[in-house]
A = this chain, B = another copy of it.
């Protein structure tokens, strides 16, 4: 089964990303966030914090596993934060 990758940017709206996280976790069991840069990483972590509150009533407690990864943007390799989000 493939895992959905959500690209989070500095302009992403955390409540919207949180809704997507909650949906994918319930459908697929997990979801992966990619964020390039400090502002994007901050939006990503906030999104997970909000998604946790969305899933409280479902009895799902989300955790995330951070790691580094490389992504290609405009043909340049950039370091990104990859957050694997899944139920505890």
Contacts and interface: CB of A to CB of B under 8 A. Distances in A.
Contacts of A83: 45
A83 to B, nearest CB: 8
Contacts of A37: 42
B38 A42 contact: yes
A45 to B, nearest CB: 5
Stoichiometry (number of copies) = 2
A13 interface: no
| Contact size range, A | 20 to 34
Contacts of A42: 37-39, 41-42, 81
Contact of A66 (B38, B48, B67, B68): B48
Contacts of A66: 45-46, 48-49, 52, 64
Interface of A: 37-39, 41-42, 44-46, 48-49, 52, 61-68, 81, 83, 88
